[in-house]
Amino acid sequence: MKDACFIVPVHEARFESDVLPLIESYHVHYGDDHLFLVFSTKEEFEVFSKMSPVDFIYQPIIVDYELTYSKPITEKKFYGLRWVFENTDFKYAGVVDCDARFIDRKDYALLFRDYHDRKKVFSSRVENKGINEKVGLESCYYNFDCDDFAEIVLRTDNFLQYFWFNDIPVYERETFKAFDEYVQPNGVEMRSLKYTDFDYNLYTWYRIISDTEFELVDIAPGLNLKNGSFLECQNEIEQELFEEVIEKIQPMWLVDPSGYEDMPKLFMRFHTDR
């Protein structure tokens, strides 16, 4: 996949249970090294390199400063994105957690391009105080200026419209660089990122305020979820409705792909640890 790669933040507690199976699943379907693992320290990378089979191909990215938060997953994702877009020619990057798995071979560079170019992200309504206030309102308030924050509040229906993991988080090089300049103007480092600062939320909110053609589309009007996005709540949604919606949106991943393996864009599963 010449124009695209994957970036995965990893940590030692999940090396055996998730990171090794993730790499193995990638190489069942792809024979390249377009899989970047982001390690917190050189020591953490050395631990992993000793336990991983010699034929496991991946590219390590090692954070070169002390991470600022006890759960630095977003910080590591952004570090990985900056590194890849500054040091490689990849135009697109999918950023996933280590509990994801590859289940098929698809031209994900093409899928990522189409995903970005459609200027549309699928959302679903969630009524959950932690998501609406912490992951939504507070995170946006502290990372966007007042006028842009007000626009995002309006466009997301006060953060009730939630899109996290309704498909693979896909980043495009130039859009990410513009986003990075927005949150870190003139090289000023953005504030310490909290666990509730979800990377793709920040990036998508930026796309909302920077591109008048970009839109959020509610894929299940009238449905109010409690525990996450539409795809995250697959096992809580009536099957007929779920199948109707995924036929329309054609996602690249699902929590449980059983019975949907023939979908034309589906090549991953996520939340395998739940």
pLDDT recorded at residue 185: 66
C-alpha to C-alpha distance for 202 and 221, rounded to whole angstroms: 24
What global pTM score does this model have?
0.96
Report CA-CA distances (Å) from 183 to 32, 36, 175. Answer: 33, 24, 12
C-alpha to C-alpha distance for 141 and 126, rounded to whole angstroms: 19
Please, what are the domains in the chain? Answer: 4-269 (3.90.550)
Least confident of 22-26, 51-55, 166-170: 51-55
Q: What is the DSSP letter of 252?
A: S
Type and span of the H or E element at 39 = strand 35-39
pLDDT recorded at residue 190: 61
Digit-coded pLDDT (tens) for 86-141: 999 999 999 999 999 999 999 999 999 999 999 999 999 999 999 999 999 999 99
Question: For the chain, what is the mean pLDDT?
Answer: 94
Digit-coded pLDDT (tens) for 180-212: 999 886 555 665 678 899 999 999 999 999 999
pLDDT at 230 over 60: yes
Which whole number is the average pLDDT over 45-69? 91
Q: Strand runs (DSSP E) across 109-242, as ranges?
A: 120-126, 161-162, 170-172, 215-218, 224-225
Which whole number is the average pLDDT over 3-25? 96
Residue 67 — pLDDT band, cuts 50, 70, 90? confident
Which whole number is the average pLDDT over 164-186? 92
pLDDT recorded at residue 98: 97
165 Rama class: left (phi>0) / alpha (psi -120 to 50) / beta: left
- Tokens representing 84 are 């890849």
pLDDT at 63 over 60: yes
pLDDT at 238 over 80: yes
Digit-coded pLDDT (tens) for 130-154: 999 999 999 999 999 999 999 999 9
Of 28, 7, 21, whose CA–CA distance to 168 is shortest?
A: 7
**Which strands make up the sheet holding 268-269, listed edge to edge?**
101-102, 268-269, 253-254
Of 97, 50, 200, whose CA–CA distance to 139 is shortest?
A: 200
Share of the chain above pLDDT 70, in %: 97
pLDDT recorded at residue 76: 93
Q: What is the DSSP letter of 226?
A: S
Instruction: Compute the radius of gyration of the chain from its Cα atoms.
Output: 18
